[in-house]
């Protein structure tokens, strides 16, 4: 530990709009948005919801070796900028000249009160970082994470479609000298202590294990899309953190084929955006499910492991993982996901145990896989009820069938009794109705602001009818 300490770096370092920036002490534990606004006077970045739901705080960040991605700075901690390249609204215009995105927003009247505008400019700039040409659908998808209350969005869409000759921020800000400068520091772990707070960022799993053994109560800092919210809302002080950010071995997606089964193992640091890219060709049906939830800004940082560890009964990836026969890989063992959620927000993880990867089966051609989600608002909303169904057909009905629901019990739920009822049967209308009746017995929905018990039950049944009808008709 002693040697480790002496080797550890006691500051966080990143490039902010091209300027090398070191942060020490308490500022490291602040959210990025607060740090920018109140410690640096960079007030272009706005804080509205402080929970990652409005996008007013959008900035761009590139992790080492990765692309610039839009993230919500209000729920990211300064610690998470370590070794990154960061671009804020102040870094968009060039020598007083508006960027093409900014210019289009002015010309198309894309701002009214202006409070959401920096966030939109950042999200739109991010879109053009990665797409030379766009269409309306692409624009809507990239701007889903940004709320505007004034314009009705149409002028903003018009602006997006009017942008010409985007000036690459990657080229401007991710320059070789800066990459080299940061790379020199990447081999050392980071340890920051203040009077009341501590942060450790190990660079190897061994360091992590040692530290966790000594400090079992330390909190794992992943993407912080939930922890950042807890901090902002005064629900958790985040006093002792261990960040997994620098553990390169958690960054990989591995494909394993045994006979006809293809499993994918998704490292704990892999973001949902990165995962979607990986799945796009090999499992388009699974990739498409990722479009239905969270904002791009969240998907650019959030991970499968985080969603699983958080164990929310309405976590959107959880029914999908249950339907795809996932397992949770820790340092020492592999836990089948249908044994992982043991109570309301309680998991089978033991103290000190961390999730290294999530593995699941990729549907093969001919398989039926569908995810269904209903919420108050179609996009960027927490589900009222969600459901996933995986089915493989043989000449006698479904040979394999997994049905999973969220939002209908204290945990995400596999409907094993419903599955048993349906397996190897001819799927006729009366059987579907029996399955629906069984579903009503197996779920225990509760009323809350996203829907009443009666609505959740009714909609769950309607969804099952849809899924089964489709699955029966499939192939």
Partner 1 sequence: MDNLSPSHDSARSHVTGTSEYVDDRPILPREVFVDVVHSTHAHARVLKIDTRAALALPGVVAAFTAKDFAELYWGSIFHDQPLLASDVVQFCGEPLVILAAESLDTLRAAKTLVEIRYEPLPAILTIHDAIRKKSFIAGERKIERGSSNDDTVPSALDSVIADAPHQLEGTLTLQGADHFYLESQCAIAYPLENNTIEVHSSSQHPTEVQHVIAHALGLADHRVTCVVKRMGGAFGGKESQAAPFAAYAALVAQKLQRPARIAISKDDDMKITGKRNPFFISYRVGFKNDGTLLALDARLFSDGGAYADLSTAIMERALLHSDNAYFVPHLRVRGQVCKTNTHPSTAFRGFGGPKGVTMIEKIIEEIAERLNMDPLDVRQKNVYRPGYDVTHYGQKIENNVLPALFEQLEVACDYRRRRAEISDWNATKAIAQKELRGLSLTAVKFGISFTTRHLNQANALVVVHRDGTVQVSTGATEMGQGVNTRIAQLVAEVFGISHNDVRVLATTTDKNGNTSPTAASSGTDLNGSAAVLAARRIRARLNQVAAHMRRTERDRWATFTAGLGTEKEFELSEDSSDSFMDMFPFREIVTEAYYNRVSLSEYAHYKIPNLGFNKVTGQGRAFLYYTQGAAATEISINTVTGEVKILRTDILMDLGRPINRALDLGQIMGGYIQGLGWMTTENLFYDDHGALVSHSPSTYKIPNIQDTPRVFNVVLFENHANTANIRGTKAAGEPPLLLATSAWTAIRNALAYLRPKPNLHTVPATSERILRALENF
Residues 439-468 that bind partner 1 (CB under 8 A): 448-452, 454-455, 458-459, 462-463, 465-466
Asked if 41 touches partner 1 (CB under 8 A), the answer is: yes
Measured from the CB of residue 466, what is the shortest distance to partner 1 in angstroms?
5
Within 117-146, the residues that bind partner 1 by CB under 8 A are: 117-118, 121, 140, 143-144, 146
Site for partner 1 contains 359 (CB under 8 A): no
Given the complex with partner 1, which of 282 and 378 has the nearer CB atom? Answer: 378
Nearer to partner 1, 295 or 438 (CB): 295
Residues composing the chain: 475
The two beta strands, 219-221 and 240-243, are parallel
Residues 252-271 that bind partner 1 (CB under 8 A): none
Using CB under 8 A as the binding rule, whether residue 239 contacts partner 1 is answered as: no
Task: Return the residues of window 21-40 that contact partner 1 according to CB under 8 A.
Answer: 26, 34, 37-38
Q: Specify the stretch interacting with partner 1 by CB under 8 A; choose among 111-119, 249-257, 271-279, 307-315.
A: 111-119
Interface pick for partner 1 out of 10, 66, 367, 381 (rule CB under 8 A):
381
Residue in 7, 20, 25, 113 binding partner 1, rule: CB under 8 A: 113
Hey, what's the torsion of the CAs at 435, 441, 447, 449, to 10 degrees? -30
* Contact call for residues 247 and 241 (beta carbons, < 8 A): no
Residue 400: other Cβ atoms inside 10 A: 14
Report the alpha-carbon distance of residue 349 to residue 342 in Å, rounded: 10
- CB-based contact 321:304 (threshold 8 Å): yes
Segment interacting with partner 1 (CB under 8 A) among 99-107, 181-189, 217-225, 329-337: 99-107
At residue 442, what are phi and psi to the nearest 5 degrees?
-90, -15
Which residues, numbered 408-427, are part of the site for partner 1 (CB under 8 A)? none
Instruction: Annotate 397-444 with DSSP letters as a single string.
Output: SEEEEEEEEESSSSS-EE-HHHHHHHBTS---HHHHHHHHHHHHHH--
Is 204 or 452 the residue whose CB approaches partner 1 more closely? 452
Closest Cα to residue 110, out of 45, 162, 171? 162
442 token code pair: 């197996």
Of the candidates 17, 72, 102, 347, which one interacts with partner 1 according to CB under 8 A? Answer: 102
Contact with partner 1 (CB under 8 A) among 252, 334, 376, 399 = 376
């Amino acid at each position: 530990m002693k040697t480790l300490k002496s080797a550890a770096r006691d500051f966080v370092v990143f490039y902010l709009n091209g300027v090398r920036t070191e942060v020490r002490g308490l500022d490291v534990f602040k959210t990025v948005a607060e740090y920018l606004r109140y410690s640096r006077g960079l007030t272009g970045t706005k804080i509205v919801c402080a929970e990652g739901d409005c996008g007013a705080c959008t900035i761009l960040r590139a992790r080492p070796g990765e692309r610039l991605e839009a993230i919500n700075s209000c729920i990211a901690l300064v610690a998470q900028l370590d070794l990154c390249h960061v671009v804020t609204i102040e870094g968009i215009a060039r020598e007083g000249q508006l960027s093409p995105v900014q210019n289009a927003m002015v010309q198309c009247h894309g701002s009214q009160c202006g409070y959401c505008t920096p966030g939109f400019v950042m999200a739109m700039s991010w879109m053009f970082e990665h797409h030379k040409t766009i269409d309306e659908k692409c624009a809507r998808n990239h701007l889903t994470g940004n709320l505007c209350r004034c314009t009705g969005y149409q002028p903003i869409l018009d602006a997006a479609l009017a942008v010409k000759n985007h000036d690459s921020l990657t080229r401007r800000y991710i320059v070789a000298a800066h990459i080299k400068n940061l790379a020199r520091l990447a081999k050392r772990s980071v340890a920051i202590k203040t009077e009341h707070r501590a942060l450790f960022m190990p660079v190897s799993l061994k360091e992590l294990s040692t530290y966790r053994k000594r400090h079992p109560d330390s909190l794992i800092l992943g993407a912080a899309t939930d922890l950042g919210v807890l901090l902002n809302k005064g629900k958790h002080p985040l006093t002792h953190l261990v960040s997994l950010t620098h553990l390169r071995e958690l960054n990989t997606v591995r494909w394993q084929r045994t006979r006809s089964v293809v499993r994918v193992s998704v490292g704990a640091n892999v973001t949902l955006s990165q995962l979607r890219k990986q799945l796009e060709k090999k499992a388009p049906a699974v990739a498409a499910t990722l479009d239905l939830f969270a904002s791009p800004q969240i998907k650019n940082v959030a991970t499968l492991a985080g969603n699983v560890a958080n164990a929310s009964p309405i976590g959107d990836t959880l029914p999908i993982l249950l339907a795809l026969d996932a397992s949770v890989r820790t340092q020492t063992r592999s836990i089948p996901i249908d044994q992982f959620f043991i109570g309301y927000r309680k998991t089978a993880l033991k103290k000190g145990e961390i999730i290294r990867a999530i593995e699941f089966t990729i549907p093969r051609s001919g398989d039926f896989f569908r995810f269904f989600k209903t919420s108050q608002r179609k996009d960027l909303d927490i589900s009222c009820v969600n459901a996933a169904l995986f089915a493989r057909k043989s000449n006698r009905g479904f040979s394999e069938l997994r049905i999973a629901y969220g939002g209908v019990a204290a945990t995400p739920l596999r409907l094993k009794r419903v599955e048993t009822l349906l397996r190897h049967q001819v799927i006729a209308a009366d059987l579907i109705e029996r399955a629906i009746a069984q579903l009503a017995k197996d779920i225990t929905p509760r009323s809350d602001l996203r829907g009443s018990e009666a609505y959740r039950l009714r909609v769950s049944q309607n969804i099952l009818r849809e899924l089964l009808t489709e699955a029966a008709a499939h192939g």
